[in-house]
């Protein structure tokens, strides 16, 4: 009897509760992907996030890598001579990069994060029913543009990289066996994405004012032109650039000083630009004014312009662009009446020069003048860049007259004469020089030097290495007292450059380790 009682009690116990309800404890405050995708309006949020991936919202993910790229050119020094940072200097000076750097890894990582953001939209937007088809097309065009942008960043820096085109494939075991695609395969993907984007995206003028800053048909065409240029497909590059020119959507700013100007966001010259705002509560501002700023001016003093760059302006008699490109210690700041004698102490800032393009004039600074909170937009492609792409591509395609005319437009604005009789290599060199002066300190230089070739050899080799122009200048000809008085940064920058190695950066070592060697290192690293 007792046994029976016990057994029935036990039975009761074991059947009494088996409630799924008791075990239902959903995550609070953070939506799941499934929940968000069920909401039709969410797609725009994913697309906007992909834009975020172009710059990311702090200095370390992407921005600082871009800055190091200018340090690795002849336009800049690493600059900060107080902080011993071998992880930065080793890239800027082309010595000892092999051991790897955080900046390379973060840059690589965040390009792929951006790609994954795009892939979610590309894969899922077709499944969203509750969306205006026209908007859906535009959003698809935007992420195609952005995915191409990210892959272009990767191929420019690392050569061939693994290609991921959907979100679902990330969830298959096979993802761990991916290898690097060839440079050609990556470019083929970029071109296709940009061609799709050209079809899907509206013109700049067709966007509402609330959408200013989104990718446009012109931006897709502009980048396509650049992508062709990087592959030396001159005719296609010139034709594509010409389409942008003919669209009349963009003009040069009348005044060069208006190009990088807090008061002129998304100006008429802008083809693709990241919008920033100073905000107390949200990280939606820029960083470059601080990270390139003088140590005496609340800055970090990385990437200081070289006297070698200044000399290029002076040799050209290019006063207008010089004053809007370089600030010099002890001199007033052009466009900032509040500063009559700028302080970039030579003992702490190599070369005592600062990038004027990213500089925030005193009257636009909010207190505290924080990192990551600056109001100046960051221009990634502008019309002058496009005109010079057109000029260069036209020249190599054999159309010297178009090349000269495009270059002349750029020079006219800054009141420089253009010798219309230039031809052959002299014209080529003039276009290259023009590109340098016009776009100086805008993070293009190192890539231009890499792709521009003389007799099949990258121009980086003419600038760096024991016989490089920049190295020889600094070791033998340089008389700049600011630079010579501060040898905290080695005057022989770039002497260890190796043409067989340094035209691409090393793949992040952790990527090789994590892929168990499926991803192979670039040659000679």
Partner 1 sequence: MRTFLLSCFVALLTTATAWGQGAQISGRVSTSDQGPLPGINIIEEGTSNGTITDLDGNFSFRATTDTPVLLVSYLGYESLRIPYTGQQNIDILIKPDQTTLDEVVVIGYGTANRKEITSSIATVEGEDLNRMTVGNVSESLQGLAAGVQVINNGGGPGAAPNILIRGIVTNQGTAPLIVVDGVPLPEGTNLNFLNPGDIEDLQILKDGSATSIYGTRASNGVILVTTKRGGEGKASISASVSYGIQNLQEPSLAGANEYARVINARQMNDGQPAVYDLDAIDTDTDWWNEVYSDFAPVQNYNLQINGGGDKLNYLGSIAYFRDESHLDRGYWNRVTARFNVDYQVSDRLLIQQDINPRYEHWENTPNLFFNTLRIDPLTPVFVDFDEREGRNEFSIYGRSQNFVPNPVAAVARQFNKSYLFNFFSNTKLTYDITRNISFSSRLGLTLGQQRNDQFFPQFTIEPGLEENPESSVRSRMDQSFGYVWNNLIDYNQKFGLHSISATAGLVFERFQNNYVLGIRNDVILPNENFQFLDAAVGEGIQAFGNEGANTLESQLFRLRYNYDNRYFLFGSFRRDGSSRFPVNNRFANFYSFSGAWNVTEESFFNVPFINNLKLKAGFGQVGNQNIPASAFLFLVGNENFILGENEDRVVTNFISQFGNPNLQWEVVEDVNYGVEASLFNNSLSVNVDYYNKKSIGLLFPTSLPLFTGAPSRIWQNVGSFESVGWDIGLGYTKQVNDWTFSANATVNINESRAVELAPGNSQLFAQQRAEFGNNFLKVTELGQVVGLFYGFETAGIFRNQTEVNSHSTDEGQLIQPNAQPGDLIFVDQNGDGRISEDDLTTIGNPFPDFSAGLNINITYKRFDLNMQWYGVFGNDVYNYTKFFRTSGSSNVNVQEGLIDDAWNPNNVDANIPRLSTIDPNGNFLRSSDYFVEDGTFVRLKNIQLGYNFDIPWASQFRLYVSGQNLLTFTDYTGLDPEVSAGGGIINGLGIDFGRYPLARTVLVGLNIGF
Of residues 477-496, those binding partner 1 (CB under 8 A): 487, 490
Candidate residues 265, 372, 451, 522; the one interacting with partner 1 per rule CB under 8 A: 265
Question: Which parts of 242-261 interact with partner 1 (CB under 8 A)?
Answer: none
Question: Which parts of 390-449 interact with partner 1 (CB under 8 A)?
Answer: none
Integer distance in angstroms from the first to the last C-alpha of the chain?
Answer: 83
Burial 395-425 (b: 16+ CB within 10 A, else e): bbbebbebbbbbbbbbbebbebebeeebeee
User: DSSP 3-state assignment of 165?
Assistant: coil
Question: Which parts of 348-377 interact with partner 1 (CB under 8 A)?
Answer: 367-371
Sequence-separated (6 or more) residues with CB below 8 Å from residue 386 = 222, 225, 241, 244, 245, 250, 271
> Which range in 10-18, 197-205, 312-320, 385-393 contacts partner 1 by CB under 8 A?
10-18
108 or 288: CB nearest partner 1: 108
**Rule CB under 8 A: is residue 127 a binding residue for partner 1?**
no
99 or 426: CB nearest partner 1: 99
Question: Which parts of 304-333 interact with partner 1 (CB under 8 A)?
Answer: none
178 or 473: CB nearest partner 1: 178
Candidate residues 231, 423, 521, 522; the one interacting with partner 1 per rule CB under 8 A: 521
108 or 497: CB nearest partner 1: 108
Sequence-separated (6 or more) residues with CB below 8 Å from residue 136 = 43, 125, 128
CB of 3 to partner 1, least distance (A): 8
How far is residue 437's CA from residue 312's CA, in Å, rounded to a whole number? 8
How far is residue 219's CA from residue 382's CA, in Å, rounded to a whole number? 9
**Rule CB under 8 A: is residue 4 a binding residue for partner 1?**
no
Q: Please provide residue 253's backbone torsions phi and psi, each rounded to the nearest 5 degrees.
A: -60, 145
317 or 517: CB nearest partner 1: 517
CB of 365 to partner 1, least distance (A): 12
CB of 101 to partner 1, least distance (A): 7
Q: Using an 8 Å Cβ cutoff, are 46 and 121 in contact? A: yes
Question: Which parts of 50-109 interact with partner 1 (CB under 8 A)?
Answer: 51-52, 57, 82-87, 95-96, 98-102, 105, 108-109
Q: Using an 8 Å Cβ cutoff, are 260 and 324 in contact? A: yes
Candidate residues 184, 251, 277, 419; the one interacting with partner 1 per rule CB under 8 A: 277
Burial 28-65 (b: 16+ CB within 10 A, else e): eeeeeeeeebeeeebbeebbebbbebbbbbebebbbbb
213 or 332: CB nearest partner 1: 213
CB of 40 to partner 1, least distance (A): 13
Candidate residues 235, 275, 451, 472; the one interacting with partner 1 per rule CB under 8 A: 275
How far is residue 444's CA from residue 432's CA, in Å, rounded to a whole number? 12
> Which range in 205-213, 223-231, 422-430, 453-461 contacts partner 1 by CB under 8 A?
205-213
300 or 334: CB nearest partner 1: 300
Question: Which parts of 218-237 interact with partner 1 (CB under 8 A)?
Answer: none
CB of 228 to partner 1, least distance (A): 25
23 or 129: CB nearest partner 1: 23
Cis peptide bond N-terminal to 151, omega within 30: no
Candidate residues 152, 230, 250, 300; the one interacting with partner 1 per rule CB under 8 A: 300
> Count residues contacting partner 1 (CB under 8 A)?
111
Question: Which parts of 142-181 interact with partner 1 (CB under 8 A)?
Answer: 161-162, 164, 170, 173, 175-178
Tokens of 453: 């070739």
Candidate residues 68, 75, 94, 114; the one interacting with partner 1 per rule CB under 8 A: 114
Phi-psi region of 424 (alpha: psi -120 to 50; beta: other; left: phi over 0): left
How far is residue 227's CA from residue 194's CA, in Å, rounded to a whole number? 10
**Rule CB under 8 A: is residue 34 a binding residue for partner 1?**
yes
Q: Using an 8 Å Cβ cutoff, are 354 and 344 in contact? A: yes
> Which range in 113-121, 193-201, 245-253, 332-340 contacts partner 1 by CB under 8 A?
113-121
* Pairing between β-strand 453-454 and β-strand 457-458 as defined by DSSP bridges: antiparallel
Closest-CA residue to 155 (of 174, 134, 182): 182
User: DSSP 3-state assignment of 110?
Assistant: helix
């Amino acid at each position: 009897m007792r046994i029976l009682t016990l057994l029935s009690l036990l039975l009761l116990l074991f059947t009494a509760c088996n409630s799924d309800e008791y075990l239902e404890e959903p995550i609070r405050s953070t939506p799941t992907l499934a929940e968000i995708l069920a909401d039709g309006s969410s797609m725009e949020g994913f697309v906007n996030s992909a834009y975020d991936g172009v710059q990311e919202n702090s200095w370390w993910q992407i921005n600082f890598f871009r800055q190091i790229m200018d340090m690795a050119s002849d336009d800049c020094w690493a600059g900060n001579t107080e902080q011993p940072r071998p992880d930065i200097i080793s890239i800027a000076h082309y010595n000892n990069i092999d051991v790897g750097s955080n900046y390379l890894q973060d840059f690589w990582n965040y390009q792929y994060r951006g790609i994954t953001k795009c892939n979610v939209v590309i894969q899922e937007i077709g499944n969203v029913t509750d969306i205006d088809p026209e908007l859906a097309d535009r959003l698809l065009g935007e992420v195609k543009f952005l995915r191409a942008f990210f892959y272009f960043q990767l191929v420019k820096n690392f050569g061939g990289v693994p290609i991921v085109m959907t979100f679902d494939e990330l969830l298959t075991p096979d993802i761990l066996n991916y290898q690097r695609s060839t440079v050609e395969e990556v470019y083929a993907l970029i071109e296709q994405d940009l061609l799709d984007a050209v079809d899907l995206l509206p013109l700049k003028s067709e966007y509402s004012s609330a959408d200013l800053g989104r990718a446009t048909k012109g931006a897709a065409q502009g980048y396509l032109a650049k992508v062709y240029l990087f592959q030396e497909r001159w005719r296609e590059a010139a034709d594509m650039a010409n389409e942008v020119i003919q669209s009349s959507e963009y003009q040069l700013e009348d005044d060069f000083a208006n190009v990088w100007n807090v008061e002129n966001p998304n100006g008429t010259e802008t083809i693709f630009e990241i919008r920033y705002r100073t905000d107390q509560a949200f990280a939606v501002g820029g960083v470059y004014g601080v990270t390139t700023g003088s140590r005496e001016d609340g800055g970090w003093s990385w990437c200081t312009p070289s006297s070698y760059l200044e000399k290029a302006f002076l040799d050209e008699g290019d006063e207008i662009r010089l004053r809007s490109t370089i600030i010099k210690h002890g001199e007033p700041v052009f466009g900032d009446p509040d500063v009559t004698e700028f302080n970039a102490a030579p003992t702490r800032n190599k070369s005592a020069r600062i990038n004027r393009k990213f500089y925030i004039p005193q009257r636009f600074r909010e207190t505290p003048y924080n990192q990551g909170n600056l109001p100046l937009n960051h221009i990634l492609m502008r019309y002058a860049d496009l005109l010079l792409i057109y000029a260069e591509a036209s020249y190599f395609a054999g159309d010297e007259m178009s090349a000269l005319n495009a270059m002349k437009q750029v020079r006219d604005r800054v009141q420089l004469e253009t010798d219309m009789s230039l031809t052959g290599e002299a014209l080529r060199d003039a276009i290259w020089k023009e590109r340098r002066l016009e776009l100086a300190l805008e993070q293009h230089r190192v890539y231009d030097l890499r792709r521009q070739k003389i007799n099949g050899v990258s121009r980086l080799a003419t600038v760096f290495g024991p016989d490089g122009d920049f190295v020889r200048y600094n070791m033998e000809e340089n008389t700049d007292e600011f630079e010579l008085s501060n040898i905290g940064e080695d005057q022989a920058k770039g002497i260890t450059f190796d043409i067989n190695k340094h035209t691409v950066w090393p793949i992040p070592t952790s990527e090789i380790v994590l892929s168990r060697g499926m991803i192979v290192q670039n040659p000679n690293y």
